[in-house]
Amino acid sequence: MIRMSSYGGLLLCALISGCAVGGGHSSEIPATLYFAKSATGSDFVGSFRTLDGDPIPSAPLVIDLSPGRHTVGYWCPDHIVMDGPPTVVATFEPGKSYVLHCQGNEDGRVEAR
C-alpha cells in the first residue's frame, strides 16, 4: 500500500488501496518517505515519480512503503530531467520515517528522521 500526498504549503494525505509495493504484506508496518523542501529557498518541493520502476500516480510528496530495499524515482524542483526521473536506492525499516533531500542535479540522498 502506498500513501500519497501533495501540498501547496499544507500536507494533504490520501490513502490509495490495492497497490502492491515490493512484495510487502498488509500486516507489515510501513516505512514513510517524505520529500524535503528544496534548499533553494523556493516554495516548490519535489515529488515521487516511481517506486521500483513502477509509476506512482499523482506525484505525491509522501509515500508509505513496505520495509526493505527500494529504488525511488523522484523529481527535484531545480533538476533538469532528460531520460526519466533520477533515482535513489535505500533500505527502509518498518515504522521509521525518512526524508529524501535533493539539490539541483546532485544525487538525491535518503536520511532517517
Question: Per the structure block, which three cell numbers stand in for 108?
Answer: 538525491
Distance (Å, rounded) from C-alpha 110 to C-alpha 101? 6
pTM above 0.75, yes or no: no
User: Is residue 29 over pLDDT 80?
Assistant: yes
For 13-31, what is the mean pLDDT? 51
**16-20, 43-47, 100-104, range with the lowest pLDDT:** 16-20
Distance (Å, rounded) from C-alpha 74 to C-alpha 56? 10
Rounded to whole angstroms, what are the CA distances from 53 to 31, 33, 60, 62, 79? 18, 17, 16, 17, 19
Q: What are the pLDDT digits (tens) for 52-93? A: 999 999 989 999 999 999 999 998 877 777 777 899 999 999
By percentage, how much of the chain surpasses pLDDT 90?
A: 44
For 25-34, what is the mean pLDDT? 83
Distance (Å, rounded) from C-alpha 16 to C-alpha 83? 27
Q: Are 90 and 73 in contact (CB under 8 A)?
A: no
Laid out side by side, the sheet with 87-92 consists of 54-55, 47-51, 68-75, 87-92
Distance (Å, rounded) from C-alpha 6 to C-alpha 60? 5
27 pLDDT tier (thresholds 50, 70, 90)? low
pLDDT value of residue 26: 55
pLDDT value of residue 1: 47
Q: Domain 2-112 is in which class?
A: mainly beta
